Amino acid sequence: MLCTMTKLSRKHLLAGLILIVAVTVTQGTFKVNVDDTGGFTISVDGVTWLSSGKPFFNKNGQRWSVGGINGSQLVQVNITSHVHVGGQKWNETKVLYTFGNGGDMIATYIRIYDEEYNRIIFTQEYIAGASNTSINGQTSFNTTIGGYPCLQITDPDEDLGFLSYGGYMLGFTDMTTGIFNHQTTTINDGMNYGPLALFNKKGKAVVISPYDNYMSASLWQDLNRRQLVWGIMGGVNDIPANFTYRTILQYGDSINQAFSEWGKTLQGKVGLDKNIQRTKNLVKDITVNNLGYWTDNGAYYYYTTQPDKSYETTLADVKSYADQQQIPYRYLQLDSWWYPKENNSRGVLTWTALPDVFPSGLQNLSATTGWKFLAHNRYWSKLTPYAKQNNGSFNFIVENGGSLPIDLEFWRYLFKQAKSWGLIVYEQDWLNRQTMYLSSLHTSLTLGTQWLTQMGQAAQENGLTIQYCMAMSRHALQSIEIPAVTQARVSDDFLFKAREQWRIGETSIFANAINVRPYKDTFWTTSVQPQNRYGKESKYPGLESVVSSLTRGPVGPGDKIGYTNKTLLMRCCRQDGLLLRPSRPALATDKQLMMKAFGQSPNVEIWTTNSRISTGYGYTVEYGILFAADVPDHVTISVTELHFDLLTSGIYYPYNDITRWQYFNSTTIIDLSGCSKTDFCLFYFSPWIQGSNIQAILGESNKWIPVSSDRITEITSTQDSTTLSLSGVPGEIVTIFYVFNDQLQSTPCSFTFNTTSCVLAPKQNSATSVKSENFRTTVTLLTIIALRLIFLK
């Protein structure tokens, strides 16, 4: 049955390249071997990790595969290889099949990039299209209608762990980890799929996900054939001619590197314009850059007002309390309590303020408080009067389970209205329910993309940004192509679910890779908030607060009036509410992921992040942060395991006692025993200041991020002086700590305008010998950093 022919394509002839059938590509430690039938194996450091299974495709109500039974054989007619040399270098092997002898054609491609990129792109090409591809009705919706690549679920030649994002909140709710072997059954699949990482005990890793068609792609864990199968979701019944679907497999020397490279590749694909647009949106979005007040599930005023007062008055009182306490909330979040919903499904009818909630209107609240709004929306009711089916003006799909706008003009109308009452960020919540309850979104190849793209386009046109909430992985991936999406919730609601929602180290990896800011959700700054509607206490207000600040995303407390711990809250930001942030979200370390997957600890949290500060000499210096909580006894971590970019030695200290500062270098081991939820650990790492009078800058000790580029915009130093360019608020006084001659010292810096130049003026003392010793280290380091910079270029 198997018929292999080789011929030269026109492209090959033009390029004058030689055809290779069996292609072996060596890529440093990552190696892909393609055999003469198009099958492949993937190995790392000479150890086989993955082998291919046979592709299949559904058509005419049947599953067709090589060697398939029931007369539905895929017949392999052709295998060709192509070597691409210009720009990014890759090898590609194409296999051409027919559905039965002489039937329509379909092709698979495996494109292997060289060691600079270490990735594979797999393509399915439906040359003639296919119809009747969804077989067995609704029960097949969590499978796929075709499979390429198919990877065998079998024992690899070394222990591999896996991390499988799944469910909603960027894969938080159903995330699984474990050992990948022939017994593996818990990888998230179907409508619920998410990116999948496999890694060995050294942290070398691959990340696999769809590379396009995110809203209609799926991963199917086919336990009968014991294969992981990527393809188009099982409900899609018709594929047009020339349709292609692609899957990416990205290798990295560490798990975090694999995710970061994977994300960069996905972002790179959408083009520079959209990425620049996203970056601009992130800069301009008030809510990712400033403190705000929240009223969603978990917040005190969620479907709750003060006794005998309206929402309107309650929120005005929140503002008065904040003003009186000088708490600088810069925007207000309105949750689902503000608009009318259908009685049965609770779907939204119109996205307009209920008159009894806001008798004077939202515009009035915005005018009286000075706040703009981040406002929540949910899934659409089948009765929404916006739909033409309900005598409205706009095109919707209306089903029993709900409805869906399919009309760019609708979104333009909605956002134009909303801007007039003060909307700045549209929060699209319940993305999972909207998707799971609407069968059109399980059966259409393009509808999901159309829906989210129209929403995003209209938002962009109106200068609005979007927060995704309850986003499944498919929505999160789709957001890569939608610059208006600046933020996404990365865990369940505050105070509610069994899995504590502050544990966002892994979902932050996903969010960071796709360049949306992770949002932890609201929190309380004091544990006990009397008469709250949940009958609960918040056990770890400090933990909730620091985790929020570590995200580089929104910080949104939701305290009862009179119950804000201002000292704790203001660790997040400047006096005017501008968030003091790290340069990237704190991310779970490889160490944490390996401890979870290989069974040492199901719950440990060990995250790191950094701040990059400009020096004024054309390069930046790195300040590191290590966060650890819920760590079992006898766990240590070395400085080399912290994923810092450049930082290898300097001074570090615990957040709660700056006087306990110590030297560190690449051999330093940090003991994490006793890092619990109540007594979480937080260490700050500062580099030696090069060629300067002082040894290291420790920063503002009363902030969660003591050295942030949002505060310290530049450090310039000479042998005689160190000067910081600071940004702040007129009247604000910032105390900067640093180490001079092995003494902890501080200098207060005050602001007359919104920037200031602050000279660190250490008091002289006698310990000069220590200083000169450190100075030698500094000079060496300067050389190392200079060399690294050269290599990075």
Ligand X SMILES: *[C@@H]1O[C@H](CO)[C@@H](O)[C@H](O)[C@H]1NC(C)=O
The residues binding ligand X (CB under 6 A) are: 7, 9, 20, 23-25, 60-63, 68-70, 72, 77-78, 80, 83, 89-91, 96, 112, 114, 131-132, 138-139, 141-142, 190-192, 241-242, 343, 360, 364, 367-368, 390-391, 526, 542, 565, 567-568, 663, 665-667, 753-754
Report the alpha-carbon distance of residue 351 to residue 424 in Å, rounded: 15
Q: Would you give the distance in Å from CA 311 to the centre of its chain?
A: 34
CB of 234 to ligand X, least distance (A): 9
Shorter beta-carbon distance to ligand X: residue 440 or 460: 440
Closest CA to 728 of 699, 697, 757, 704: 757
Report the alpha-carbon distance of residue 178 to residue 198 in Å, rounded: 10
Report the alpha-carbon distance of residue 64 to residue 559 in Å, rounded: 59
Closest CA to 245 of 108, 141, 56: 108
Shorter beta-carbon distance to ligand X: residue 68 or 298: 68
Shorter beta-carbon distance to ligand X: residue 667 or 718: 667
DSSP string, 356-396: TT-TT-HHHHHHHH--EEEEEE-PBPTT-TTBGGGT-SB-E
CB of 435 to ligand X, least distance (A): 10
Report the alpha-carbon distance of residue 166 to residue 149 in Å, rounded: 20
Shorter beta-carbon distance to ligand X: residue 351 or 396: 396
Shorter beta-carbon distance to ligand X: residue 80 or 708: 80
Q: Would you give the distance in Å from CA 121 to the centre of its chain?
A: 22
Structure tokens at 598: 């290989």
Shorter beta-carbon distance to ligand X: residue 289 or 512: 289
CB of 601 to ligand X, least distance (A): 26
Closest CA to 748 of 757, 736, 739, 738: 736
CB of 568 to ligand X, least distance (A): 4
CB of 677 to ligand X, least distance (A): 14
CB of 68 to ligand X, least distance (A): 5
CB of 59 to ligand X, least distance (A): 8
Shorter beta-carbon distance to ligand X: residue 241 or 759: 241
CB of 10 to ligand X, least distance (A): 7
Whether residue 261 contacts residue 248, with contact meaning beta carbons closer than 8 Å, is answered with no
User: How many CB atoms lie under 10 A from the CB of residue 746?
Assistant: 15
Shorter beta-carbon distance to ligand X: residue 141 or 162: 141
Q: Provide φ and ψ at 612, rounded to 5°.
A: -105, 125
CB of 201 to ligand X, least distance (A): 25
Shorter beta-carbon distance to ligand X: residue 33 or 747: 33
Q: For the stretch 389-423, what's the b/e string if a residue is b when 16 or more beta carbons lie within 10 angstroms of its beta carbon?
A: bbeeebbbbbeebbbbbbbbebbbebbeebeebbb
Shorter beta-carbon distance to ligand X: residue 361 or 534: 361
Q: Provide φ and ψ at 323, rounded to 5°.
A: -65, -45
Shorter beta-carbon distance to ligand X: residue 244 or 457: 244
CB of 231 to ligand X, least distance (A): 15
In whole angstroms, how far apart are CA 31 and each of 48, 89, 384?
Answer: 9, 15, 54
Closest CA to 246 of 266, 228, 261: 266
Shorter beta-carbon distance to ligand X: residue 665 or 765: 665
Structure tokens at 40: 């492949």
Shorter beta-carbon distance to ligand X: residue 25 or 561: 25
Shorter beta-carbon distance to ligand X: residue 367 or 787: 367
Q: Provide φ and ψ at 622, rounded to 5°.
A: -110, 135
CB of 382 to ligand X, least distance (A): 10
Q: For the stretch 28-59, what's the b/e string if a residue is b when 16 or more beta carbons lie within 10 angstroms of its beta carbon?
A: ebbbbbbeebbbbebbbeeebbbbbbbbbbbb
Report the alpha-carbon distance of residue 615 to residue 723 in Å, rounded: 10
79 Cβ neighbours under 8 A, 6+ residues apart: 4, 5, 6, 21, 36, 37, 38, 93, 94, 95, 96
Residue in the block written with tokens 């890529």: 27
DSSP code for 632: P
Shorter beta-carbon distance to ligand X: residue 147 or 542: 542
Report the alpha-carbon distance of residue 150 to residue 441 in Å, rounded: 24
CB of 438 to ligand X, least distance (A): 13
Closest CA to 523 of 552, 499, 497, 546: 546
CB of 705 to ligand X, least distance (A): 16
CB of 193 to ligand X, least distance (A): 9
CB of 383 to ligand X, least distance (A): 8
Long-range contacts of 526-535 (CB under 8 A, 24+ apart): 526/559, 526/563, 526/564, 526/565, 528/563, 529/300, 529/559, 529/560, 529/563, 530/560, 530/563, 532/300, 532/560, 533/302, 533/303, 533/304, 534/298, 534/495
